[in-house]
Amino acid sequence: MAFATPGLPLAAQVLFAAPLAALAIGFFYFHFRRPRDIHWLFLASCLAVTGASLRLLLEVLGGKVWDETIFRWLIIGGSSIEFGIRIDGLNAPILAMVATVSTLIHFYAVGYMRDDPGFSRFFLCFHFFFFSMVGLLVSHNYLQMYLFWEGVGLASFLLIGFWYDRPAARAAAWKAFLVNRIGDIGFLVAILVMMGWGGSVRFTELFAGLGLLDPGIVFLIAALLFWGACAKSAQFPLHVWLPDAMEGPTPVSALMHAATMVTAGVFLMARSWPILQYAPGLLSVLAVVGAFTAIGGAVLAGVQKDLKRILAYSTISHLGLMFLSLGVGSLFGAVFHLITHGFFKALLFLCAGSVIHGLGAHGTVTTDETGGLSISLPWTYAAFLVGALSLGGFPPLAGFFSKDAILHSLLVGGHAAGGPLGLLGSGLKAAGCLAAIASSYYIFRMLFLTFLGDRPQQTGRSAHAHEPGLWMQVPVFLLAALSAVGGVIGSAGLLEKVLSPLASAWGPMILVASSEVSAPFSWEVAGVGLAAAAAGLVAAWLATMAQSDWDWTWRMKHPGLERRVAGELGWQRLAARSAGLVSRAAAFVSWKWEDERWDVWTESLADCFTGLGEGLSGISRGILNEYLWWMLAGSVALTFMIVLCF
């Protein structure tokens, strides 16, 4: 295997050392003594990690790959589990994106959370998340990845419920943790299967041995990993936690629930690419689920009023697009979109945060309260415009190129999964195009409703909105820049350059069709993408800015419909009901069964003996004559026995 090279560079060690050191010093010293200064520590750590990741990316571009074991975690029987670092063409660019975006959002959070009493607690949890995310990306085996996967889930829980005095935040945090944990069952069982039958959890060893395994086992592993990925990446039906997760502070939503944590599921699928190739049926499922999620998320995003929820559903939709891309065989498209999505979604969230901050609101803001903010928040408007154009898919911004790659593989590229063409294929193509139109629609609707026009429901707040300080502005601009020019990594072939060695190394292991790690450009597809983006923009204009004002009128005419759509046509309530069912079942087992029946049976067993004792004690009632009768009877019996024995 031409993967591993000896020795880990300093940069790789910095990836772990810097955040760990920052967390330790931050917790033991800064949190108690100097909580207001704790952010310097974490900013330094972020910058160090970003520098290291960029350095590693450069090396990977030069063709280097690392797959080193750091220490043996345990050796039992025949199994050995180690901890190590793997840096190759798949995770180096993603790591660079994650590190960069995280650093920028750390800076943003300094400004956003400045007045919050839990400032240092926030940064501790936030940086713990960052550490876990980096660890997840550079793991060299599935178990290690699972460890950081759970760490990320824990951080998500702590941060969604950061303002823990709010019941909605607590409930959202618990919901996120629970749904993620349900997915984790799949991941854990997959690991158990890998250890039991696959021989190893380490990527290199497992993939090398795939051909020798029973195809059923491989399919099982793939399906279980998919289950785990669905929960983390909010695919239908395990997406229910993401909209509620917006209860967390905006930097949390921007970093975790847009750019990084939710992409962990996509990353898991990408990492497991060779396994997926052995399960082509599963790839079709991936594609269908992704398509459904993409459309569903986009449609729901188009009807939300809460700014952050629009972006949350948008994230769900884009994650669906990434899964769709994976399902039709384009690893390139998925990874490219993952990276660009990180840029522009984080940007959009930060702009929403600036709006919220600027309006002086705590938590979030609905479109009822916004409108015409381009006047009072010009810079934010400009940045948001860049983000919207990127998300919508307008050239030459980053989002256009990545969406183009996905559309290309959908419309032109053969279904590398080898799945059934025909009806399914056409369905997927239609879904992809619809999702593209819908994404452009909802983001421009959001832009129009927030920044332009003059809504009649507008409150007086928008007139007094102010731009946030530099801490928040500079990261926003940098992200805008990245969203604008980030497309170059894909179009200039940088991404292709790092991904193709990976694919060629996997090549011999893959039985089924080849996977796409590049996307040749075609004008037709570009045209389709541009048309979809433009169509969405026009539709948004018609819905919000034009005289028809359709967006507002349907709400007025059908108020019940709005409520039902917000509840995802009953899906959220179904999820809540099922959770309620489980806790009712628990109460039943615990009280009706355990307490009322089981305990009672045990105690009635004891009561039998007590009853026996009480019954027997009827012999001695205190009446002397009765005792004497017993003595008489006893002596007679004894005499008989003695006589009989002799």
Partner 1 sequence: MLLTWLWLLPALGALAAWAAPSRAARGVGIAWSAAVLAYSLWLLLPFSSGTGPLRLEELSGLSFHGIRYRLGVDGVSLSLCWLTALLTTLSLAASGVREERPPAYWAAFLALEASLMGVFTSQNLFYFYVFWDLSLIPMFFIIGLWGSQGRRFASIKFLLYTFAGSLALLIGIVWLAVLHESATGAWTWDIPALARTPVSGCAAGWIFALIALGFSVKIPLWPLHNWLPDAHTEAPAAGSVLLAGAMLKMGVYGFLKVLLPVFPVLAREALPWMGLLGVVNILYGAVCAMAQTDLKRLIAFTSISHLGFCVVGIFSGRPEGLAGAALQMLNHGLSTGGLFLLVGMLYERAHRRDIGDFGELARTAPWFAFFFGFVLLSSIGLPGLNGFVGELLALMGMAKASPPLAALGAAGAVLAAAYAIPTYQKVFWAPAGPGSVSGKISDMDRRERGILWVLAALILWIGIYPGPLLGILEPGVSALVLR
Partner 2 sequence: MSSSAWVWSVSSLLFLSGMFCLVWRRQLLAMVLGLELLINAANLNFIYYSGVWKDAQGLAVALLVIAVAAAEVVVGFALVITLSARGRPAETDWLRDLEG
- Where along the sequence are the contacts to partner 1 (CB under 8 A)? 71-79, 143, 146-147, 150-151, 154, 157, 161, 164-165, 167, 170, 173-174, 177-178, 181-182, 184-185, 188-189, 192-193, 195-196, 582-583, 585-587, 589-591, 594, 598-599, 602-603, 606
Among 71, 617, 642, 644, binds partner 2 (CB under 8 A): 617
582 binding partner (options partner 1, partner 2, none; Cβ < 5 to 8 Å by kind): partner 1
E strand residue ranges, 177-298: none
Out of partner 1, partner 2, none, what residue 621 binds, judged by CB under 5 to 8 A for its kind, is partner 2
What tokens were used for 644? 């009989």
Nearer Cβ to partner 1, position 143 or 482?
143
Cβ proximity to partner 2: between 619 and 645 the closer is 619
Token couple for 538:
């026009």
Does residue 624 belong to the site contacting partner 2 (CB under 8 A)?
A: yes
Amino acid in the structure at residue 273: W
Least distance (Å) from partner 2 to the CB of residue 591? 38
Q: From the CB of 83, what's the least distance to partner 1, in Å?
A: 9
Residue 355 CA to residue 377 CA, distance in Å, equals 8
Residue with tokens 């489980």: 582
Among the listed residues 454, 622, 644, 646, the single contact to partner 2 using CB under 8 A: 622
Nearer residue to partner 1 within complex by CB, 109 or 201: 201
**Partner interacting with residue 561 (select from partner 1, partner 2, none; CB below 5-8 Å by kind):** none
Binding mask 361-390 for partner 2 (x = CB under 8 A): ------------------------------
Per the DSSP assignment, residues forming a β-bridge with 67 are 86
**Residue 236 φ then ψ, to 5°:** -60, 140
Cα-only R_g, the chain:
31
Tally of residues, the chain: 646
Min. distance of Cβ 642 from partner 2 in angstroms?
A: 18
**Complex with partner 1: residue 585 or 641, whichever CB lies closer:** 585
What is the closest distance, in whole angstroms, from the C-beta atom of residue 634 to partner 2 in the complex?
A: 13
d(CA 471, CA 351): 13
323 within 8 A of 235, measured Cβ to Cβ: yes
Distance CA 25, CA 27 (A): 6
Question: From CA 303, how far away is CA 317, in angstroms rounded?
Answer: 14
628 binds partner 2 (CB under 8 A): yes
- Number of residues engaging partner 2 in binding (CB under 8 A): 10
Is position 58 an interface residue for partner 2 (rule: CB under 8 A)? no
CA 540 to chain centre: 29
620 binds partner 2 (CB under 8 A): yes
Report in angstroms how near the CB of residue 184 gets to partner 1 at its nearest.
5
Residue type present at position 197: W
Cβ 608 to partner 2, closest distance in Å? 20
**Least Å from the CB of residue 616 to partner 2:** 11
Residues paired with 366 in a beta bridge: 306
The residue (of 184 and 306) whose beta carbon lies closer to partner 1 is 184
Select from partner 1, partner 2, none the partner in contact with residue 591, using the beta carbon and a kind-dependent cut-off of 5 to 8 Å.
Answer: partner 1
- Per the CB < 8 A criterion, the answer to whether 83 and 440 are in contact is no
Q: Which is nearer to partner 2, 79 or 620 (CB)?
A: 620
| CB environment 440-460: b (16+ within 10 A), e (fewer) | bbbbbbbbbbbbbeebeebee
- Cβ-based burial of 463 (10 A; exposed 0-12, middle 13-18, buried ≥19): exposed
3-state secondary structure of 71: strand
Does the protein bind partner 2 through residue 643 (CB under 8 A)?
Answer: no
Report yes or no: 539 and 441 within 8 Å, Cβ to Cβ. Answer: yes
The entry of partner 2, partner 1, none that residue 58 binds, CB within 5 to 8 Å by partner kind: none
* 632 counts as binding partner 2 under rule CB under 8 A: yes
Token digits for 603?
Answer: 């105690």
Considering beta carbons, is residue 547 or 625 the nearer one to partner 2? 625
- Taking CB within 5 to 8 Å according to partner kind, which of partner 1, partner 2, none is near residue 617? partner 2
623 scored as a contact of partner 2 (CB under 8 A): yes
User: Of the two residues 149 and 273, which places its CB atom closer to partner 1 in the complex?
Assistant: 149
Helical H segments across 255-329, by residue range: 263-271, 273-277, 280-301, 307-327
Nearer to partner 2, 585 or 631 (CB): 631
**Residues facing residue 330 across a β-bridge:** 516
621 is an interface residue for partner 2 by CB under 8 A = yes
- Is the Cβ of residue 470 or residue 636 nearer to partner 2 in the bound state? 636
Distance from C-alpha of 532 to C-alpha of 210, rounded to nearest angstrom:
41
> SS3 of 1, please?
coil
Give the Cα separation of 403 and 317 in Å (integer): 13
Q: What is the number of alpha carbons within 13 Å of residue 589 lying toward its C-beta?
A: 5
CB-nearer residue toward partner 1: 114 or 170: 170
Min dist. Cβ of residue 637 to partner 2 (A): 15
CB of 77 to partner 1, least distance (A): 3
- Which residues contribute to the site for partner 2 (CB under 8 A)? 617, 620-625, 628-629, 632
